[in-house]
Structure 1
Amino acid sequence: MHIEVKALLVTAVASGQGKTSVTAALARKLVRQGQRVRVFKCGPDFIDPMILERASGAPVQSLDLWVVGREACRQLLAQAASEADVILIEGVMGLYDGTPSSADLAREFGVPVMAVIDAAAMAQTAGALAQGLRDYGPVAMAGVAANRVASLGHAQMVAASLRDIALLATLPRQAISLPERHLGLVVPGEVAAIDALLDTLAEQLVFDADAWEALPPVRIELGAMLSAPAPLLAGKTIAIARDAAFLFIYPANLATLRQLGAKLCFFSPLANQPVPDGADAVYLPGGYPELHSEALSNAAQWRASIRAEHAAGTPILAECGGMMALADVLTDQSGASWPMAGLLAGAVQMQARLAGLGSQALSTEHGELRGHTFHYSTLSTALTPSACTVKHPSATAGEALYRVGSLTASYFHAYFPSNAPAVAAMLSRQSA
């Protein structure tokens, strides 16, 4: 059995071409036309999905043939196809970057590709880029979206260069664009008038409706349903930090915790809220503690509460930014140093260059737990790691994982559905 849906993978030759802006603009445009739109993000990412969710009005899940898995990706696409008129998938980096790549995903599910080309400093060369992107794989090329187009004449030159490839869309140079910082785009909650900006992008996106309508629907095969995890956390309450300093959480992670039977309660360390009473475990996800280090340092109630939970043996899982907030000290990008919660002996130092990036896996007694890493800080510590992740696909050593009493901490961001029993063990007292 199968289901059919209009679908498009939005890609580019590299990062920074405007994939997110074009995908968000197209999603918002189609929604405003009355279409039901579901958007996915290819590869591990937290920030782009927030923008795309705001643009489409629907949750944005990750698709990755290795981290998420082929059958899980198929199931996510089939579910979306049953609920939506259109599926948009934003690719990761360049079309052929990574193992697996966005091109691999497109070919796996027969999704045609729209290549975003930053045409600000080119005209006819856009055709060479588009044809190279199409033929190298090859992939099914639905068309091109030319970004930062200066004029109608400029757009016509780009269109003529494409030969047998359609110019599906154009977006002009923006007076105000989606702002960026060291980990990527600024999250939508921090962007003034974000909805007005998305509306403007949608209004300015010139889209070839005839070429779009001519695209055949994508056929998604309905495979066997994946079984839900056993309720290994039934009756347990998981306290999860969620605010501007701790906001990098896969929606699928929360869904997995609920499938495991856990009750979720959220609190804000930034607001100096303590760990909620009655929590059986604490999950501190990644985020931007470096942007809020002074507030976290001054949040005496939060710091005392997490120390008390640790002393009581409450399981604590801290990922990336969550781990940074538990070190002795955090030195931010300005060079200022701030005392943190002090559960993990060591000092975190922000730096200008990337310190870790890519898909990785952690070996556990329950099998492989998959995820990724992406950070601009380093941890200096005398602690001996209890384990290390393995990079994919190189199989070389990845991020260190530390266990200090009931605390499990690492720069590694785990994708919980990849191994729910391993996650349940980390959040259970018997794993300490």
Structure 2
Amino acid sequence: MSQETIYCPAIFLTAPASNQGKTTITAALARYFTKQGKVVRVFKTGPDYLDPQILAQASKQPVEQLDIWMAGDDYCQDRLYQAAQIADLILIEGAMGMFDGDPSSADLAARFGIPMAIVMDVKGMAQTAAALATGLANFRDDVRVVGLIANRCGSERHAELIRDALPPSLPLLAALKRDEDVTLPERHLGLVQAEEVADELELRFEAAVDWLQESTDAGLLTLPEPVAFLPAEQDYAEAPAKRHLQGRTIAVARDAAFSFIYDANLNALKSLGAEIAFFSPLNDATVPDADAVWLPGGYPELHTKALSENTSMHSSLQAFFASGKPLLAECGGMLYSLEELTDLEGQCYPMLGILSGQGAMRGKRGCQGMQTAVIPQGEIRGHAHHRSRSANTPEPVGHGRRQRHPAPGEAIYQQQGLTASYLHLFFPSNLDATAALFLGVTSLAESA
């Protein structure tokens, strides 16, 4: 594969805050250009499972996460470079506000020279929207902003007031009217999973294409300028030299209850030599024949009754745990591992019981943030995002280390072959520690 600089049109969609419409507009653009016959590769900034599902359906291409802290500069550079080799357009959706976080969306855009477009919900303001956009665009001189996308614009006169107040260097790329037909469905942890509303999403994507085309400003519907993408020192598309999981099968829970799975994590396991066997704790009777099990996060709280009633799966996973083989349980997977789980309606159901303790949902209060899992196998970066609590659990072997706060992070439990925590791990951040975790050893030297 060529290691020369590759040029590909790219744009980074950012905003002054969350809930401005970034995902809706990114999905609309992805579908618009896909319908034009273009290959559109979309990336999502930060640790997010739900937005990428929506964006993957809109673009009909895989969507990956980009986060300098979680994955590193070299990893992000490689993923962009690989995408640029096949794409006609790269779209990146930011997280939260433009300068929020460390590193922020602006840091990522500046690092790779990608121009930004500001998405702003302009309901209730006019010239002030132009003032805010101008301030964001000029806050740092290493970030280039190419225009404003005014979302939920009330009328052409509303758009005119904003357009006339913007400086010539910051054009109005689109004035998008208020339209509930393009709004994406949500629930307590964010957007509804794409596979649950796939047909509805198709209708919304098609409506969103019309929505974009109705704007009197056409700047958004032309391909942005090409950006130079350089190869990284390490090619993450190639398998690592040491395939520590060669010949091993990892059973991965994947269904409506367990779906918070980074494609990057699956690719990391495969690059280490593992075979992946998916199974459904909701619908299957037993775990596939495997050397290790991964119970990822998801929405077990929405399926407590069905999970509780699948007692044959309980017996199969309990037997797997008793065998001492490696089992990783993350967030929702950890809740499923506990003795009981109380759902959003206050109903309590028995779960696996391979980890002592009880889990319970707690409405809108929760925990989120970037953390490093500090475990005997090594340090693996990841994040926490949950609205539940656990009680009467065993003594942890350690805690997550928060990115910017000295207080201990999420508790991490290890007993027999089980590793359980609220943390969602990003395997590419430490392939050796990931391999050791799924081998059931504390260091790779033990498996040599």
Q: 1:218 aligns with which of 204, 208, 227?
A: 227
Once residues 295 and 55 of structure 2 are traced to their aligned partners in structure 1, the CA distance between those partners, rounded to angstroms, is 24
AA paired with 2:234?
A: M
Q: Which of 87, 90, 93 matches 1:87? A: 90
Q: State TM-score, norm by structure 1.
A: 0.96
Q: Residue 248 of structure 1 aligns with which residue?
A: 260
Tell me by how many angstroms 1:33 deviates: 1.3
Shift of 1:350: 0.5
Tell me: CA distance 1:171–1:211, structure 2 relative to 1, closer, same or farther (3 Å). Answer: closer
Separation (CA, whole Å) in 2 of partners of 1:214 and 1:407: 49
Cα distance, 1:340–1:210 mapped onto 2, change above 3 Å: closer
C-alpha contact 1:179 1:185 (8 A) present in aligned 2: yes
For 2:287, give the aligned amino acid: V
Aligned residues: 431
Q: Is the counterpart of residue 160 in structure 1 residue 150 in structure 2?
A: no
Q: Does 1:199 align with 2:203?
A: no
Does residue 2 (structure 1) correspond to residue 11 (structure 2)? The answer is no
Q: Secondary structure of 1:51's partner?
A: helix
The residue identity in structure 1 corresponding to 2:77 is R
Q: Under a length normalisation based on structure 2, what TM-score does the superposition of the two structures give? A: 0.93
Q: What's the offset of the Cα at 1:291?
A: 0.5
Match for 1:347 among 337, 358, 368? 358
Instruction: Give the ranges of 4+ consecutive aligned residues of structure 1 lying more than 6 Å apart after TM superposition.
Output: none
Offset, 1:430: 3.3
Q: Secondary structure at the match of 1:393?
A: coil
Distance apart, 1:368 and its partner CA: 2.4
Aligned to 2:176: 171
Does the alignment pair 1:390 with 2:394?
Answer: no
- Are residues 1:42 and 2:40 paired? no
Matched with 2:446 is none
Q: How far does the alpha carbon of each residue in 1:89-146 deviate from its partner, in whole angstroms, 9 at most, with x for none?
A: 0000111111100000010011111111101222221101101211223421111111
Residue 364 of structure 1, CA deviation:
4.1
**Aligned counterpart, 1:182:** 188
Task: Give the superposition deviation at 1:209.
Answer: 4.4
Q: Distance in 1 between matches of 2:377 and 2:314?
A: 32
Q: Give RMSD over aligned pairs.
A: 1.7
Report the residue type matching 1:218 in the other structure: V
Corresponding residue to 2:325 among 305, 309, 314: 314
Contact (CA 8 Å) 1:10, 1:114: kept in 2 or not?
yes
User: 1:161: how far off?
Assistant: 2.2
Moved more, 236-245 or 390-399: 390-399
The aligned amino acid for 1:246 is F
Identify which of 47, 63, 73 aligns with 1:70: 73
| Structure 2 counterparts to residues 13-28 of structure 1, below 5 A | 13-28=16-31
Amino acid at match of 2:148: V
- Partner deviation per Cα, 1:137-181 (whole Å, 9 max, x = no partner): 342111111111222222222222222211112322123321111
Cα displacement (A) at 1:431: 4.4
Specify the SS of the correspondent of 1:83: coil
Counterpart selection for 2:123 from 101, 120, 125: 120
Describe the shift of the 1:215–1:146 C-alpha distance in structure 2 as closer, same or farther (beyond 3 A): same
Report the Cα distance in structure 1 between the residues aligned to 2:178 and 2:221, rounded to whole angstroms: 23
What letter is aligned with 2:50?
I
**Alignment check: 8 A CA contact 1:317 1:409 kept:** yes
* Distance in 2 between residues matched to 1:257 and 1:395, nearest whole Å: 32
Q: CA deviation at 1:366?
A: 5.3
| Alignment equivalent of 2:245, drawn from 218, 224, 233 | 233
Aligned-partner Cα distance in 1 for 2:377–2:442: 12
Say if 1:136 and 1:380 are closer, same or farther in 2 by CA, change over 3 A: same
Q: Is the 8 A contact 1:172 1:205 kept in 2?
A: no
Quick check: 355-364 or 338-347, which moved more?
A: 355-364
Alignment partners' CA distance in 2, 1:77 and 1:429: 33
Q: How much identity, in percent, do the aligned residues show? A: 47
**Which ranges of structure 1 fall in alignment gaps of 5 or more residues?**
none
Aligned equivalents of 1:411 and 1:365: distance in 2? 17
Distance 1:167 1:101, change over 3 A: same
Residue matched to 1:282 = 293
| Corresponding position: 1:324 with 2:335 | yes
Decide whether aligned partners of structure 1 residues 119 and 106 sit closer, same or farther in structure 2, where only a CA change above 3 A counts.
Answer: same
